[in-house]
Structure formats: C-alpha cells, structure tokens
Amino acid sequence: MQAFSYVLAHSVAEATAILAQEGSRARCLSGGTDLIVQLREGRRRADVVVDVKGIPELNQLSFDSQHGLIIGAAVPCYRIYNDARIAAAYPGLMDAVTLIGGVAIQGRATLGGNVCTASPAGDSIPALIAHRAVAVIASPRGEREVPLEQFFEGPGKTVLQTGELLVCFKLPPPPAGFGAAYLRFTPRNEMDIAVVGCGAALVIRDGVVQDARIALGAVAPTPLLVPEAGAELIGKPLSESTIVAAAEAARAAARPISDLRGSAEQRRHLCAVLTRQALAQAAARAQSLPQPAHA
C-alpha cells in the first residue's frame, strides 16, 4: 500500500480545516471497508488519511418520533440495527444496513462511507433516499443540507467540495401509515453487490397512498429517485395495477449499463421485479407497523 500520514480528528472544525488545507491529498477514513481496499489496490490515492471516528457529531445516533432520526456519518451499520426502535421506525434502512457485506463488514462500515464512496450500487443509498434522508455537510464556511437524491454526481463523485465533511443524515419521523423496504438482487444470498437495488417508501392512510418514493440503485451512474414511479401511486388506492404501473415507470427510468455483474436488459427487467416486490413489502409494513404516538 502507498504511504500516507494518519490524523485522528476530534472535532468537525479540526477535520474540515485539514480537509480544506490538504484538498484532494486528503481522504476521510470512516469504517474503512472501502477506503482501505481502494488505497491497497491503488484505485485511490491519499497523502493524509483523516480518521473521522473520533468526532462526536459523526457518532451521534438519536431518534424520537417528533424530530426523527439523526445518524452520524461514522456510525457503523451494527449500531443502527441493534437499536430496536430505529429498526422498527425505518424498516427500509434496516433492510439495507443488514445487507451490507457480512457481519464483520457491518461492524465497521458506515452510512457516511457508503454514501461518500458513491457507488451506483451502494446498498444504503436507495433506502436513505426512500426515507427522505438529508445529508448535513460542514465546512470551514459553515453547514449546508442536501437531500440525498441530489448528493451524487456520478460513480464515485458527490457534491462535496474541498474542505467539506459529511457530518450526519437527518431522516424525518415516519408519518402515520408509513412503510418502507429495501430489496436488492444478488446471485449469492449474502456478500455480494447489488445487480439492482430498490428502496421504496409508502404512506397509506384510509386506503389511499398519500406519499410514495421509489429509488433505484445500480441502474444509472448515480442512485436514482424515480418520481414518475411514485406518481403512479399517489392519490390512489394501492392495487396490483398501480404497483405494476409504478414498476413499469421504474423500468423506464432506469439507464443501466452491461457489466460483469449483469446486463442492461437484465437490470431493466429486475427494476420492475424489485420495484413490485419492494412496494408490496413496504405496503405490508405500512399496515403492520406500530403507528407513531403523535399520529
């Protein structure tokens, strides 16, 4: 592996100052499950590795039904699914964090890392988009918030500018009648990369879909929110035909490539299949989830 220096940052200010000063020479180290492999294989370079796990704001994990969920960018997956209240309230996210790698990966891998790696196939991203996650970004100039669907610019490319640090994600509280799911298709049952991933969230009240968000992974240069698919559902009772219409909209929105993990046609086909399945699962959860207290 190439040589680099290592800095353990203790505050957002310290980290952003280093990032601002070092520019592209610096890389943030969170769980390390992507970065260490990339450095080892020479796919990325870094002269300074800034370990962000020592920063309190990046380690926060808090949930209440009024304000929703805040997940620090350096919180590893296992902490999220070990929290029964969070797992129950954000089932799509729960699906994703239990699917990323195996148990030993989940012991290190973080949402911040998964999002900043910006792989089109990153498992947490469609789930976070479905859950309306907002990325909180800090820099020496202050903070800004970016809805996650607007965070990505291409494979490995994000809106983060020099000196900017992803601090945390804010997820709104689940409204009454909320259900969500993340499904991915992989040839193996675990330890695999999504051929296609689909996050779906529904709000169903009085038998009518109030809100629907469908996000796809691995079918475009960036994870993809598909408003057209949601539009097929909103304002109507959920039925076989609206689900199929949403699934077809998802298929139509996909812009996949053929690569070693799947062909473009296979991916378009799977978009429809997974969208149907994810919607069905989200709907089932919407019926069965305990409703938030304030609803």
Partner 1 sequence: MSKVLVSAIINEEPTEFLCEPRQSLLEVLRDVLNLSGAKEGCNNGNCGACAVIMNDVLVNSCLVLGVEAQGARITTVEGIAPKTGLHPIQQKFLEHAALQCGVCTPGFIVATKALLDRNPNPTEHEVRLWLAGNLCRCTGYDKIVRAVLDAAATLRGQASTQPEALEHPNGTAPIAEKKPDPAATVTKPRFRVIGKRPIRPDGVDKVTGRALYGADIKLQGLLYGKVLRSPFAHARIKSIDTSAAEALPGVKAVITGKDFKPAEDRVERSGEGTVNYSYLSQNVMAQDKVLYHGHPVAAVAATSVHIAEEALALIKVEYEPLPVVLDVLEAMRDNAPILLPNLRTHELGEAVGDKPTNIASHEQIARGDVEKGFAEADVIVEREFRTATVHQGYIEPQNATALWNADGQITVWTSTQSAWDEQRELSAILHVPLSHIRVIPMEIGGGFGGKLNVYLEPLAALLSLKAGHRPVKLWMQRDEVLKATGPTSASVIRVKVGARKDGVITAAQAWMAYEAGAFPGSPVSSGMGVIFAPYRLENLLIDGYDVVVNKPPAKPYRAPGGTNAAFAGESVIDELAEKLGMDPLEFRRINAVREGDRSAYGPTYGRIAYVETIEAIAAHPHYHSPLPQPSGPHARVGRGVASGFWFNWDGKSSASATVNPDGGVAFLEGSTDIGGTRASLAMQLAETLGIDYEDVHPMVGDTQTVGYNDATGGSRTTYGSGLAAYHLGKQIIEEMRARAAKLWDVPVDEIVVEGNLYRHGDKVISFKELAAKLDETGGPISVSVSIDAKGALPTFGTHVVDVEVDIETGKVSILRYTAAQDVGCAVHPSYVEGQIHGGVAQGVGWALNEEYVYDAEGHLLNASLLDYRMPTALDLPMIETILVEVPNPSHPFGVKGVGEVPIVPPAAAIANAIYRAVGVRMNVLPMNPRNVLRAMGVIERHAS
- Footprint on this chain of partner 1 (rule: CB under 8 A): 1-6, 8, 29, 31-33, 36-37, 39-41, 49, 51, 53, 76, 78, 101-105, 107-108, 185, 187-193, 195, 259-263, 265-266, 269-270, 273
Closest to 125 (Cα-Cα) out of 97, 98, 144, 102: 97
- Burial label for 221, CB within 10 Å (0-12, 13-18, 19+), is middle
**CB closer to partner 1 out of 27 and 132:** 27
**CB closer to partner 1 out of 103 and 295:** 103
The distance in angstroms from the start CA to the end CA of the chain is 54
Task: For the CB of residue 144, give the shortest distance to partner 1 in the complex, in Å.
Answer: 29
**CB closer to partner 1 out of 8 and 245:** 8
**CB closer to partner 1 out of 242 and 277:** 277
Task: For the CB of residue 3, give the shortest distance to partner 1 in the complex, in Å.
Answer: 4
Task: For the CB of residue 189, give the shortest distance to partner 1 in the complex, in Å.
Answer: 4
Task: For the CB of residue 103, give the shortest distance to partner 1 in the complex, in Å.
Answer: 5
Task: For the CB of residue 253, give the shortest distance to partner 1 in the complex, in Å.
Answer: 18
**CB closer to partner 1 out of 241 and 263:** 263
Write the single-letter amino acid at 41: E
Task: For the CB of residue 94, give the shortest distance to partner 1 in the complex, in Å.
Answer: 15
Tokens of 190: 């675990």
**CB closer to partner 1 out of 4 and 87:** 4
